[in-house]
Amino acid sequence: MSLLDTVPAATVLAPCTLATTQFAATASPPAAPLATPLHDARSQLSAAIGVLGYSAGLHALLATPRRELTVAVPLRRDDGSTCLFTGYRVQHNLSRGPAKGGLRYSPNVTLDEVRALAMWMTWKCALLDVPYGGAKGGVAIDPLLFSQAELERVTRRYTSEILPIIGPEKDIPAPDMGTDERTMAWIMDTYSVNVGYTVPGIVTGKPISLGGSHGRASATSRGVTHIALAALTHRGIRVHGATAAVQGFGKVGHDAAVFLTAAGVRVVAVSDQYGAVYNAQGLDVERLGAHVAATGRVVGFDGAEPLAGDLLLELDVDLLVPAAVEGVLHAGNAARVTARVIVEGANGPTSPAADLIFAANGQLVVPDILANAGGVIVSYFEWVQGNQAYWWNAAEVEQKLAERMLAAWRQVVDYAAARDLSLRAAATVLAVERVAEAHLLRGLYP
């Protein structure tokens, strides 16, 4: 009799039906029915194809993921019971190099969401001219409901299931929502054990002691800050004393709030999935960070007053940084959003309908594929350092990051001005053109 025979079959195959962590009623505004991330990503691509005048065949090729893998991820829980999750890895495009993209743990992960995030990674890598295609991975799990040991087992099993399609020359995962450098260490170890030797280049966003890069953990937020300061200045808004609201207080939102504050911006509100806090004088972000480290949420911070999560998006501020999830700025709320400048720390926070409203109201939106590209730039630096086994110091990384972010900003602003495009349209057109060029130069096999 096998061990599994002692466990009822229904238990072995049951999906995990635990309640997910509760979102504050106001923290997650429902998006309009069509405003799914994949719909948004495809609309943005269609608009770029319209500008570029590409054929329907090339459009279809660019709109369709090159490879998708759906895997079952069984977990033996700490209490001995067994349950099942679904995981995905989507490689959207491989024309410019190996696929690159984060791994997300969230109960809301779906194949369509991963497809959209993979497509945005393709454009981001092309726009920033890092030699990668785009990919994304996800497991439909709420990481807050599981122990570290359980998350380690989920990560190792997911990694072994997607092993055939990942590798330092094939597809290189990195952290995204719900995952971190610990997760990357488990992936690196699982991959290395399977191939029989240590392969640091299989992931980026690793702990520094395992070959991670200085500056990777804060790179996305540093990049967001470089772009936000440039965008404020571009709009004639004085950085010192400008006001900002940041949605999401995770890896991207927290450090963005810290760096913006250091630059003289007054961060008056931040939120997480449970709610938001507001202080008109500016939040003490360091102390708020300590409160979140102790309690797990921003609400209850004694240096601010509570605020409904939705209202954060509608505050009268100079700068809004959505740094949480997709689809939060949509046709239903865009007209009430009054921020002069919106810098997308998150992927896909703004629907195409909201983009039109912001354009009509003269608000500047800096798109995700430019604004949050700092993470993939330093991931690229980490991969280069790992492949050469030669490490750069923090100052070198930060300087190279700033140079690349600001060069891309200049390029997108100039391109947009020359062709009378929005920054999103300009960035997407530039990126799609580079990917299409790679396709055309390589030719179609066979």
Report the interface residues with ligand NAD, using CB under 6 A: 27-28, 175-178, 220, 247-253, 271-273, 309, 323-325, 345-347, 372, 375
Distance between CA 28 and CA 324 in Å, rounded?
10
Q: Which is nearer to ligand NAD, 102 or 201 (CB)?
A: 102
93 versus 218: smaller Cβ distance to ligand NAD = 218
8 A C-beta contact, residue 88 and residue 138: yes
Q: Tell the smallest beta-carbon distance from residue 329 to ligand NAD (Å).
A: 12
Chain mean position to CA 165:
21
Spatial distance between the Cα atoms of 184 and 148, rounded to a whole number of angstroms: 13
Nearest distance in Å: CB 328, ligand NAD: 7
Q: Let me know how long the chain is.
A: 446
Q: In angstroms, rounded to a whole number, what is the distance separating the alpha carbons of residues 225 and 269?
A: 16
Looking at beta carbons only, is 87 or 248 nearer to ligand NAD?
248
Instruction: Record the tokens describing residue 112, joined without a space.
Output: 């369509």
Annotate 343-361 with b (16+ C-beta within 10 A) or e (fewer).
bbbbbbbbbbbbbebbeee
Q: At its nearest, how many Å lie between ligand NAD and the CB of residue 113?
A: 10
Smallest gap from Cβ 104 to ligand NAD, in A, equals 7
| Of 144 and 360, CB closest to ligand NAD | 144
CB 359, CB 420: distance < 8 Å:
no
End-to-end CA distance of the chain: 51
To ligand NAD, the closest distance from the beta carbon of 367 in angstroms equals 12
Gap between the Cα atoms of 256 and 221, Å rounded? 5
Q: Are 373 and 223 in contact (CB under 8 A)?
A: yes
Q: Which residue is nearest to ligand NAD (CB)?
A: 250
Instruction: For ligand NAD, give the closer residue by CB, 109 or 432.
Output: 109
- Cβ proximity to ligand NAD: between 247 and 279 the closer is 247
Q: Which two tokens stand for residue 391?
A: 């490490």
Angle at 226 between CA 223 and CA 232, to 5 degrees: 135
Amino acid at site 419: R
Pairwise CA distance, residues 21 & 144, whole Å:
7
Least separation, in Å, of the C-beta of 302 and ligand NAD? 19
Nearer to ligand NAD, 114 or 436 (CB): 114
Single-letter residue type at 221: S
Question: Concatenated DSSP letters for 149-169?
Answer: HHHHHHHHHHHHHHGGG-BTT
| Cβ 186 to ligand NAD shortest distance, Å | 17
| 136 has catalytic annotation | yes
On whether the CB atoms of residues 316 and 242 are closer than 8 A, the answer is no
| Count of alpha carbons within 13 angstroms of residue 393, beta-carbon side | 1
CB-wise, 123 or 249, nearer to ligand NAD?
249
Name the one residue in this structure whose structure tokens are 């965008």: 231
CA distance 157 to 85: 11
Q: Which of 100, 136, 206, 251 does the annotation list as catalytic?
A: 136
**Which are the contacts of 142, defined by CB distance < 8 A and separation ≥ 6?**
18, 20, 21, 105, 106, 107, 178
Task: Cite the active site residues.
Answer: 136
